[in-house]
Structure 1
């Protein structure tokens, strides 16, 4: 297997403005969220990148990426039929090749050199199969993520053979179907927002989209079918994901980038000053 292409979905109605938000990266350079996602793909050795967009967003997104050394293709999602449909829209770009996939509103900060995507792609190539990044997640967060169940691959810690996938399961469903040997109670393997997928996923999505009345299916449902057809693995990622679309998501992503970058000491100093001032004001108020 060789992974030479990447697909980023950024067409969701509630998602379209998020890739345009700006942050400072680890080197202190101001970049858009979309640029940071593209650079994650570049770090994995992939520069042929498709961005799935809502019609009319091609030009502003292209401007955001003008400084990134990537070959860009923009594909339109002309109907608001959800996330899985957005991936399906990129089938002409992908053709019959495996591809790296990201969501356009997640930022990844990894302690490993080369980044999270590089580790995922290298593992997919070594195992010659589809693979999803996952993170150990408490059951209280299950309503946010697709979740997998499976068995650890012998002799390969952190790598699991997937046999079950559910979209945003309840704790009861997870306890019944998604228990993973070796994890603590109430902990599960949830999607990290990063996958290496084979083109077989497009055939599965085509059937599902044709069979649904409202045109909406979940990627988790398609991956559940994929797991029954071919080898499909999950890899625990050591880095952290930050969904910039949730409350304080952009702030926590920026804080993580800063604390893992060149300006770490300066940022820590400023944080200490803010906390010290808050404590001083609290004590002053208590003495009044």
Structure 2
């Protein structure tokens, strides 16, 4: 067995337009919308770093400069907070920032789909394995989901996707896998299909926004044709990679929030607020429900 290469790099596709959140996202990237006072993209970044990721590659587009600025020092603000001895607020602005030289921003130019966004990072990944994390999907659990996946990868190598069960009526919103051992926490994937109808879906096991992939996927993405929605779908190329490499699904058992939808975003804020002060939240909600 060949030596398993260390997983050091992660891709964050953040070039989407965020049209479901207009007019808020006319000037503000949806990834900067706050959940419990912390931007979505920072939640996902911190999951990656807590999982042992060392290099962070953001695939951006126009009007995403707020993300770049968030991952940088704000010297004017830090000077003011320092002068006023507001140490807690000062820590919140800078203590979580990555080391210099460990972060990169790459322009996608055109919103051609998730597969295309990942392909745009090929020169920064090289011949290494890499993770992909989607900022739309906030996963609340005791152990970071990516860390759970990475621990399995470190032992066995290969390719992995996060999966969870969804209602059959919802299969057309996800990439869906087929497997012979549906009831296990780690499943061997036999095929994948993007957004099938409930009549054609091979299962109700959906791919959620966490991936660990081998660099061979880039050659397939380069030749990929547009799929569902007229976009380059990562699921199509992963399905082709199955012909030569192993793919496994790792089941997520915590709480998942689809923050690409306004109601999912609202639910995430409620859930994270409940983690901090359930009593105050309950009293507030009584006013409206």
Quickly name the TM-score band, shorter chain normalised.
0.7 to 0.9
Q: How does 1:204-283 map to 2 (within 5 A)?
A: 204-209=220-225, 216-260=231-275, 263=276, 266-272=277-283, 274-275=285-286, 277=287
Query: Are 1:45 and 2:52 counterparts?
Result: yes
User: Quick one: distance in 2 between partners of 1:98 and 1:232?
Assistant: 13
Question: Does the residue aligned with 2:243 lie in a helix, a strand or coil?
Answer: helix
SS in 1 for 2:208: strand
How high is the TM-score relative to the length of structure 1?
0.80
| Aligned pairs (5 A) from 1:134-153 | 134-152=163-181
Which of 88, 97, 101 is the matching residue for 1:69?
97
Distance 1:78 1:117, change over 3 A: same
What's the CA shift string for 1:170-226, capped at 9, x where partnerless?
A: 11111xxx24xxxxxxxx1101110001101111111114x88x9832111111111
Aligned partners of 2:279 and 2:200: how far apart in 1?
Answer: 42
The 1-side partners of 2:278 and 2:191 are apart by 42
Cα distance between partner residues in 2 of 1:271 and 1:140: 32
The TM-score with structure 2 as length reference comes to 0.80
User: How far off is 1:43 after superposition?
Assistant: 0.8
Q: Is the 8 A contact 1:34 1:65 kept in 2?
A: no
- Contact 1:47–1:69 under 8 Å retained in 2: no
* Distance (Å, rounded) in 2 between the aligned partners of 1:258 and 1:120: 27
Structure 1: unaligned runs, 5 residues or longer: 25-29, 180-187, 280-288
Q: For residues 127 and 274 of structure 2, what CA distance do their matches in structure 1 show?
A: 40
Corresponding residue number in structure 2 for 1:9: 13
Deviations 1:97-156 (A, max 9, x none): 0011011222111133xx111101111222211000001111121121111011239xx9
Provide the residue aligned with 1:21 in structure 2.
Answer: 33
1:153-232 → structure 2 map (5 Å cutoff) = 157-174=184-201, 178-179=202-203, 188-209=204-225, 216-232=231-247
- Which contiguous aligned blocks of 4+ residues in structure 1 show a shift greater than 6 angstroms? none
8 Å CA contact 2:274, 2:281 repeated in 1: no
Q: Distance in 1 between matches of 2:30 and 2:179?
A: 33
Partner of 2:130: 99
Q: What's 1:122 paired with?
A: 151
Q: Displacement of 1:78 after TM fit?
A: 0.9
2:199 aligned counterpart, secondary structure: helix
CA–CA distance in 2 between the matches of 1:135 and 1:220?
16
Measured on the aligned residues, the alpha-carbon RMSD in Å equals: 2.2
Shift of 1:80: 2.3
Within 5 A, what are the aligned runs for 1:52-91?
Answer: 52-55=59-62, 57=64, 59-66=65-72, 67=94, 68-70=96-98, 71-91=102-122
SS of aligned partner of 2:262:
coil
1:272 is displaced (CA, Å) by 4.2
Change (3 A) 1:55 1:95: farther
Residue 82 of structure 2 is matched in structure 1 by none
Q: Helix, strand or coil for the counterpart of 1:248?
A: helix
How many residues align? The count is 251
